[in-house]
Structure 1
Amino acid sequence: MIVIVGVIQGMVIAFVLGFQSSNSSGKKLLSAILLTLALLTIKILLDIFGLYKYPVFQYLPVAIDTLLQPLVYLYVCSLTEDNFTFNRNKLWHFLPVLLFQMHAAITYSVTLIEPNFHLKYVIAEHYLFYNRIKGIEKIVAFFSIAIYWYLSFRKTLNYSQRLSVSRRAIRYSNLIWLRNLLIGTGILGAILFLSSVVPTILGLVDSFGNVKVFYGYLSVLTYFFSIRGYQMILPSEVKVARLPEDTLTKQMESNDFADTSEPIIEVERDYSDILSALNKAMEEQLLFLEPELSLKKMAKTIGYPTGQVSAAINAGFGLNFRTWVNGYRVAEVKKRLAHSAYKHLSLTGIAFECGFNSEASFYRIFRQCTGYSPKSYLQEIKREY
């Protein structure tokens, strides 16, 4: 049931991401990853439920063992490369899966019209070399896993190392999740290889138990990437629900209701000490770079009650907490876009490193603060230079 629910969830999130109006290559690739994970998991479910004994499921064309690896790699590229776009030049990554899928589709089409199981087997094995091709597919998939894992991990690690130089002792969170995921995947892959592939080649054990473990891991990946996809979807849904009134729009876009739950102290109070501590926290400690920064966390950092900090921000800056923090983040993004040291980073990568935690909210807030979209602003900078 856990596997089935994971498959359903992954497919739902994949279709929602795929049909969103955003042209983000990252969203499209994440949608493709979720669909691939779901299809790979369905393969073992067909075997568990014994569906392969029915003619319509025999030789079902799902030869996608070499699809997930390039998709994950290209998704990593979309997070780490400047102005990444998925174009025709990148289609060669999918040549192996295309060839294997074409063979699988031909085999399925030819054998489907033959009702006799024995004749199906003869056609598939003696004329179309089905199992031989599947064996080649598994070998290609193994080398593909190793190569793309190395490329993805190296790109993620290099990206994190470049960013660590510019963060001035502030902890960066962008892509740490992906680095840890790749490390876990590499360890599991090594374990599965040693405990399954090698003994199977030597004819020592039946590796089906390890296959179950592998597909269980695919289910975990499906849940994980579904959560990532949901995080991308949610800001867009909130944006559509906004009302046109200026005051209410600002409140809803700030998403700061939880931070202002405590009573606000009277405006007449002297907040100079709190304001000084706030400015120091933002300008010296650069707390706005923390994606999970909240009013409570800020109050705890500077050592004042949450209600007083909220009131000080309202009285001293005329803004609520979230809008005030986002102002610092937008200013930092503008500074980095104008600096040559950050040319190797994508717009989304810079935004994440400046404290934004979703692409949709970054684009919305940047336009709200500057009157430009991030891409338009970057083009204006390039014209000036």
Structure 2
Amino acid sequence: MADKILTIWLLVVFVQIAANYLEFTGYYDKFPHLVGSTSSLIFLYGPLLYFYVKTSISPQARFRPGYLFHFIPFLLYNALLLPFYLLKSSEKLIYYNEVIKGDSSAILSLALICKTITLPVYLIWVFILLRAHQREVQKYFSDTENVDLKWLKFLVGSLFILSLVVLAATTMKLGMEITLETESYIFAAASIWVFALGYYGLKQTPIFTSIPSKVETPGVEKPKIRYEKNRLTEADAIRYEDLLIDYMEKEKPFLQHKVTLQEVASALQIPTHHLSQVLNDKINQNFFDFINSYRIKTLKGKLNDPANKHLTILGIALDSGFNSKASFNRVFKKHTGHTPSEYLKMNK
């Protein structure tokens, strides 16, 4: 679903950029029936981005009738321009050059501002969703490198900056002339952004093949509804904590690069949501920090072993369960307060 929405959004942006190219090159005079036909598409940018992120970070995202409200500005703007759409080709060119392009209409000027403000508002909304997602995946994964959507967070931030530039240009355009060169820079940046979005978006692997939904953990008998609704008892929480610590010490699942909460819960035959509750309430850590604390502890032990002096710290880190140099450096700094090189110097 996310890829389908992304494809639709890329097509919408492509049509918008292509239409601006026709305007820049003067081809509107040869195809006057196309004049203004894509001016409302910018109202789709925000909703489509929102739906893309929503379906990317939610395992059971479905389209709901309430989502149609996101398209009301798009429909209202087209209703506003309906008399223009019904004009003859020659009349369209005159009206476009004198009214729409000249922004002599107060209503169209207000619509122009609304178009420009809509996207930044949605971008802030999407950024909040991505922040929440980044915290959520740490409940289920020991390595979040390919599931945290950092690339999308970066692109959303860059698009926000670009939208502010467009907003500033639009504000200036209402009071003075904006050169063709200035607008071409904006659309060149937008084109590069679209390429980046398409590349990383279609390259993104599915996130939720391993994140458990609210159904029972595979291999574990589904608990009764009464038990599912009640919070975990203190006695069960202590017993589950002991089982978890014993499992970590003996089986060392943290040595696997991509161990998940669901896999550990299945091995212990504990409902996933109860294991998550034990981690939060008894151990005061999410799954990501819990697993990586064992990896750091193992790494420190191996660093102090003279038999490992011929190994690099990265080699020992990978052998301790870390998946990459970037994730290792980030986690190590978080748990120790020092970079790996600083730690080695301090403990030489």
Give the TM-score normalised by structure 2: 0.54
Is 1:104 the equivalent of 2:81? yes
Asked if the contact 2:141–2:261 (Cα under 8 Å) also holds between the matched residues in 1, the reply is no
Is 1:27 the equivalent of 2:26? no
Aligned-residue offset at 1:76: 1.0
For residue 32 of structure 2, the aligned residue among 49, 56, 59 is 56
Residue type at the aligned position of 1:222:
V
For residue 78 of structure 1, the aligned residue among 49, 55, 65 is 55
Is 1:339 the equivalent of 2:273? yes
Q: Which has the larger radius of gyration?
A: 2
Residue type at the aligned position of 1:209:
E
Alignment partners' CA distance in 2, 1:117 and 1:137: 19
Q: 1:222 to 1:162 in 2, by over 3 A?
A: same
For residue 87 of structure 1, the aligned residue among 64, 87, 104 is 64
Aligned-residue offset at 1:108: 2.2
Alignment partners' CA distance in 2, 1:29 and 1:117: 32
For residue 46 of structure 1, the aligned residue among 22, 27, 33 is 22
* 2:181 corresponds to: 209
Is 1:135 the equivalent of 2:123? no
Aligned-residue offset at 1:159: 1.2
Alignment partners' CA distance in 1, 2:140 and 2:9: 31
Q: 1:123 to 1:226 in 2, by over 3 A?
A: closer
| RMSD, aligned CA | 4.0
What does 1:147-226 align with in structure 2 at a 5 Å threshold? 147-164=121-138, 167-168=141-142, 170-174=143-147, 175-194=149-168, 196-203=169-176, 206-226=178-198
Q: 1:33 to 1:108 in 2, by over 3 A?
A: same
Q: 1:68 to 1:117 in 2, by over 3 A?
A: closer
Tell me the percent identity: 16
Equivalent residue pairs, number: 230
Give the TM-score normalised by structure 1: 0.50
Q: Which residues of structure 2 form unaligned runs of 5+?
A: 206-249, 278-348
Residue type at the aligned position of 1:339:
H
Alignment partners' CA distance in 1, 2:204 and 2:141: 25
Asked if the contact 2:43–2:115 (Cα under 8 Å) also holds between the matched residues in 1, the reply is yes
Alignment partners' CA distance in 2, 1:49 and 1:148: 31
* 1:284 corresponds to: 254
Deviates more, 1:59-68 or 1:130-139: 130-139
SS at match of 2:86: helix
Alignment partners' CA distance in 2, 1:161 and 1:338: 17
Aligned-residue offset at 1:61: 1.8
Aligned-residue offset at 1:332: 6.4
Residue type at the aligned position of 2:35:
Y
Alignment partners' CA distance in 2, 1:342 and 1:75: 28
CA distances 1:325-359 after superposition (whole Å, capped 9, x unpaired): xxx8984697898436889xxxxxxxxxxxxxxxx
Alignment partners' CA distance in 1, 2:26 and 2:181: 16
Alignment partners' CA distance in 2, 1:146 and 1:99: 19
Q: 1:178 to 1:43 in 2, by over 3 A?
A: same
Q: Which residues of structure 1 form unaligned runs of 5+?
A: 1-23, 234-279, 290-327, 344-385
Aligned-residue offset at 1:165: 5.2
CA distances 1:252-277 after superposition (whole Å, capped 9, x unpaired): xxxxxxxxxxxxxxxxxxxxxxxxxx
CA distances 1:169-225 after superposition (whole Å, capped 9, x unpaired): x4433211111111222233334444x24443443x525433222211221232223
Alignment partners' CA distance in 2, 1:155 and 1:141: 22
